[in-house]
């Protein structure tokens, strides 16, 4: 298995998948490779032949790889991006497990675990009908998260630094979801009035990420505005480096339930593992490997 990235340095995925292969006694390997954009098509073409079962795809290739697939799953088609490639004979199927991974992670939190359908297994997506979510950001991760929240029944508002980009995301995903009233742009000026109606706030910008554009800042809102959220609101940050981002620190100081991006990373990987191998992923093994890697501890 390969991870197609550029650069390929910091990923936790080789650790997670290596641990999962070992735990299940599978004779497979997972390696991050640095692929420049100009070399992407050739790297993808090689995946169509054994010994590859497939690959993961990450920054900056997730969108560019989609037209190179023989087939896209409905989620990958809707989001317009692929994070997992599965080889079926000589055909490549593009999946996007980020959105489903996000929902599985959400269901680890007590307020959402209670919303899992009664007959669903562990990690099943919660039913978010009647809930309102505010997604900050309008990049690739935001698209996957918004798509999955809509699929789970939630109403979603999207706030982005560049409002035209948020409007494009809304327009694209409204084409997929028939109920247009459930997905709207949130203007920056409207934020204070909206916050009191939000059940779930999700940061899908790269603000707060160490090494990112503004590691010490909160994304698109002031810390004091978190007081406008209902006391039962949940705050999720897709960033996991550092484990407690400025947003999560401010939200937990206000007593809100918070989650960083590590559970989503683990679940998107577990779903990819299942798509490649057909075996149930050893999720806790993968989580421990990711936590060890993040803490800089040896395997």
- Cite the active site residues: 62
By the rule CB under 6 A, 55 interacts with ligand NAD: no
By the rule CB under 6 A, 96 interacts with ligand NAD: no
Among 74, 130, 213, 230, binds ligand NAD (CB under 6 A): 213
Short-list 298, 299, 294, 295, CA closest to 11: 294
By the rule CB under 6 A, 206 interacts with ligand NAD: yes
By the rule CB under 6 A, 237 interacts with ligand NAD: no
By the rule CB under 6 A, 258 interacts with ligand NAD: no
The half-sphere exposure of 43 on its side-chain side, counting CA atoms within 13 A, is: 23
Among 14, 126, 137, 246, binds ligand NAD (CB under 6 A): 137
By the rule CB under 6 A, 117 interacts with ligand NAD: no
Residue length of the chain? 299
Q: Which is nearer to ligand NAD, 100 or 199 (CB)?
A: 100
By the rule CB under 6 A, 98 interacts with ligand NAD: yes
Among 65, 115, 238, 250, binds ligand NAD (CB under 6 A): 238
Q: For the chain, report the end-to-end CA distance as a whole number of angstroms.
A: 19
Cβ 269 vs Cβ 16: under 8 Å: yes
Both tokens assigned to 241: 């480096």
Q: What angle do CA 99, 31, 293 make, to 5 degrees?
A: 70
Alpha-carbon dihedral 137, 141, 146, 151, rounded to 10 degrees: -170
Q: Which stretch binds ligand NAD (CB under 6 A): 10-18, 26-34, 213-221, 228-236?
A: 213-221
Q: Which is nearer to ligand NAD, 30 or 240 (CB)?
A: 240
Beta strands 2-5 and 54-57, pairing class: parallel
By the rule CB under 6 A, 292 interacts with ligand NAD: no
Short-list 267, 255, 288, 250, CA closest to 106: 267
Residues lying near ligand NAD in the complex (CB under 6 A): 59, 98, 137-142, 160-162, 204-207, 209, 213-214, 219-220, 238-240, 261, 264-265, 268
């Amino acid at each position: 298995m390969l991870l197609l990235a550029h650069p390929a340095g910091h990923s936790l995925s080789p650790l997670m998948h290596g641990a999962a292969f070992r735990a299940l006694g599978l004779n497979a390997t997972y390696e991050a490779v640095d692929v420049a954009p100009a070399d992407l098509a050739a790297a993808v073409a090689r995946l169509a032949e054994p010994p590859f079962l497939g690959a993961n795809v990450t920054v900056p290739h997730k969108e560019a790889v989609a037209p190179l697939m023989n087939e896209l799953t409905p989620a990958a088609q809707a989001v317009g991006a692929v994070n997992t490639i599965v080889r079926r004979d000589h055909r490549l199927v593009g999946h996007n497990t980020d959105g489903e991974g996000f929902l599985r992670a959400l269901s680890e939190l007590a307020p959402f675990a209670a919303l899992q359908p009664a007959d669903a297994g562990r990690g099943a997506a919660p039913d978010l009908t009647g809930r309102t979510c505010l997604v900050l950001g309008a990049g690739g991760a935001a698209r996957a998260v918004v798509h999955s929240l809509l699929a789970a029944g939630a109403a979603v508002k999207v706030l982005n630094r560049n409002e035209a980009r948020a409007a494009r995301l809304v327009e694209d995903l409204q084409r997929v979801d028939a109920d247009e009233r459930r997905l709207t742009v949130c203007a920056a000026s409207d934020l204070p009035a909206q916050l009191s109606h939000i059940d779930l706030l999700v940061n899908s910008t790269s603000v707060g990420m160490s090494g990112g554009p503004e590691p010490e800042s909160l994304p698109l809102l002031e810390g004091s505005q978190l007081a406008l959220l209902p006391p039962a609101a949940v705050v999720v940050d897709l960033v996991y480096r550092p484990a407690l981002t400025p947003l999560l620190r401010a939200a937990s100081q206000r007593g809100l339930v918070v989650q960083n991006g590590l559970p989503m990373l683990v679940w998107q990987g577990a779903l990819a593992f299942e798509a490649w191998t057909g075996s149930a992923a050893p999720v806790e093994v993968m989580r421990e490997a990711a936590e060890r890697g993040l803490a800089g501890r040896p395997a």
